Amino acid sequence: GESVGLHLPTLSVQEGDNSIINCAYSNSASDYFIWYKQESGKGPQFIIDIRSNMDKRQGQRVTVLLNKTVKHLSLQIAATQPGDSAVYFCAEKTRSSASKIIFGSGTRLSIRP
Protein backbone atom coordinates (compact mmCIF):
# COMPACT_ATOMS: atom_id res chain seq x y z
CA GLY A 1 0.00 0.00 0.00
CA GLU A 2 0.95 3.61 -0.14
CA SER A 3 2.77 5.12 2.77
CA VAL A 4 4.75 8.19 3.50
CA GLY A 5 6.94 8.21 6.57
CA LEU A 6 9.43 10.45 8.27
CA HIS A 7 12.76 9.23 9.58
CA LEU A 8 12.83 11.23 12.83
CA PRO A 9 9.97 12.35 15.03
CA THR A 10 11.90 15.30 16.53
CA LEU A 11 14.72 17.55 15.41
CA SER A 12 16.54 20.15 17.51
CA VAL A 13 18.57 22.78 15.67
CA GLN A 14 20.63 25.75 16.79
CA GLU A 15 19.19 29.07 15.71
CA GLY A 16 20.94 30.23 12.56
CA ASP A 17 21.94 26.75 11.46
CA ASN A 18 20.37 24.92 8.55
CA SER A 19 17.69 22.31 9.19
CA ILE A 20 17.15 19.18 7.16
CA ILE A 21 13.94 17.20 7.54
CA ASN A 22 13.73 13.89 5.74
CA CYS A 23 10.86 11.86 4.38
CA ALA A 24 10.60 8.46 2.72
CA TYR A 25 7.80 7.27 0.51
CA SER A 26 7.02 3.82 -0.80
CA ASN A 27 4.90 4.32 -3.93
CA SER A 28 6.98 4.79 -7.05
CA ALA A 29 3.83 6.00 -8.83
CA SER A 30 3.71 9.15 -6.69
CA ASP A 31 4.00 12.16 -8.95
CA TYR A 32 3.63 15.10 -6.60
CA PHE A 33 5.02 15.87 -3.16
CA ILE A 34 4.25 18.64 -0.73
CA TRP A 35 5.74 19.91 2.50
CA TYR A 36 3.47 21.43 5.13
CA LYS A 37 4.25 23.34 8.29
CA GLN A 38 1.89 23.11 11.22
CA GLU A 39 2.23 25.44 14.17
CA SER A 40 0.62 24.63 17.48
CA GLY A 41 -3.14 25.09 17.39
CA LYS A 42 -3.26 25.79 13.66
CA GLY A 43 -3.97 23.88 10.48
CA PRO A 44 -1.12 22.78 8.18
CA GLN A 45 0.25 25.49 5.95
CA PHE A 46 1.65 24.82 2.49
CA ILE A 47 5.42 25.46 2.28
CA ILE A 48 6.69 24.09 -1.00
CA ASP A 49 5.95 21.36 -3.50
CA ILE A 50 7.77 19.39 -6.14
CA ARG A 51 6.73 17.21 -9.04
CA SER A 52 8.32 13.92 -9.85
CA ASN A 53 9.93 15.28 -13.02
CA MET A 54 12.12 17.53 -10.88
CA ASP A 55 14.83 16.76 -8.33
CA LYS A 56 15.16 20.14 -6.68
CA ARG A 57 13.04 23.17 -6.07
CA GLN A 58 13.86 26.29 -4.11
CA GLY A 59 11.69 28.76 -2.30
CA GLN A 60 12.38 31.50 0.17
CA ARG A 61 14.86 29.95 2.64
CA VAL A 62 13.55 26.49 1.82
CA THR A 63 14.68 23.86 -0.64
CA VAL A 64 13.06 20.52 -1.39
CA LEU A 65 15.14 17.71 -2.82
CA LEU A 66 13.64 14.63 -4.42
CA ASN A 67 15.55 11.40 -4.97
CA LYS A 68 13.29 9.05 -6.88
CA THR A 69 15.89 6.30 -6.95
CA VAL A 70 15.67 5.77 -3.20
CA LYS A 71 12.17 7.26 -2.81
CA HIS A 72 13.33 10.02 -0.52
CA LEU A 73 12.66 13.69 -0.22
CA SER A 74 13.99 16.30 2.13
CA LEU A 75 13.17 19.80 3.24
CA GLN A 76 16.08 22.10 3.91
CA ILE A 77 15.52 25.31 5.85
CA ALA A 78 18.34 27.81 5.68
CA ALA A 79 19.30 29.97 8.67
CA THR A 80 16.67 28.47 10.95
CA GLN A 81 14.72 31.02 12.98
CA PRO A 82 12.56 30.66 16.11
CA GLY A 83 9.48 31.11 13.92
CA ASP A 84 10.39 27.90 12.13
CA SER A 85 9.46 25.88 15.21
CA ALA A 86 6.59 23.64 14.16
CA VAL A 87 5.69 20.15 13.05
CA TYR A 88 6.56 19.49 9.43
CA PHE A 89 4.65 16.99 7.29
CA CYS A 90 5.47 15.58 3.91
CA ALA A 91 2.60 14.45 1.72
CA GLU A 92 2.29 12.70 -1.61
CA LYS A 93 -0.23 12.36 -4.36
CA THR A 94 -0.29 9.55 -6.86
CA ARG A 95 -1.86 9.40 -10.28
CA SER A 96 -4.05 6.51 -9.05
CA SER A 97 -5.56 8.55 -6.21
CA ALA A 98 -6.22 11.83 -7.92
CA SER A 99 -8.37 13.16 -5.11
CA LYS A 100 -6.39 11.95 -2.13
CA ILE A 101 -3.21 13.35 -0.70
CA ILE A 102 -1.46 11.02 1.73
CA PHE A 103 0.23 12.54 4.74
CA GLY A 104 3.09 11.07 6.68
CA SER A 105 3.65 11.41 10.42
CA GLY A 106 5.21 14.73 11.35
CA THR A 107 8.66 15.83 12.48
CA ARG A 108 8.75 18.36 15.26
CA LEU A 109 11.43 21.01 14.70
CA SER A 110 12.59 22.87 17.78
CA ILE A 111 15.06 25.75 17.74
CA ARG A 112 17.76 26.22 20.39
CA PRO A 113 18.68 29.85 21.10
Residues 48, 64: contact at Cβ < 8 Å? yes
36 or 77: whose CB is closer to another protein?
36
| Residue of the chain from 77, 84, 93, 109 that contacts another protein (CB under 8 A) | 93
Rounded to whole angstroms, how far apart are CA atoms 36 and 96? 22
Minimum CB distance to another protein, residue 53 (Å) = 13
Q: Count the neighbouring beta carbons within 10 Å of the beta carbon of residue 77.
A: 22
**Size of the chain, expressed as the number of residues it contains:** 113
Rounded to whole angstroms, how far apart are CA atoms 60 and 49? 13
Pick the stretch among 16-24, 28-36, 53-61, 63-71 that binds another protein (CB under 8 A). 28-36
| Residue of the chain from 49, 57, 63, 78 that contacts another protein (CB under 8 A) | 49
Binding footprint of another protein on the chain (CB under 8 A) = 32, 34, 36, 41-46, 49, 87, 89, 93, 99-101, 103-106, 108
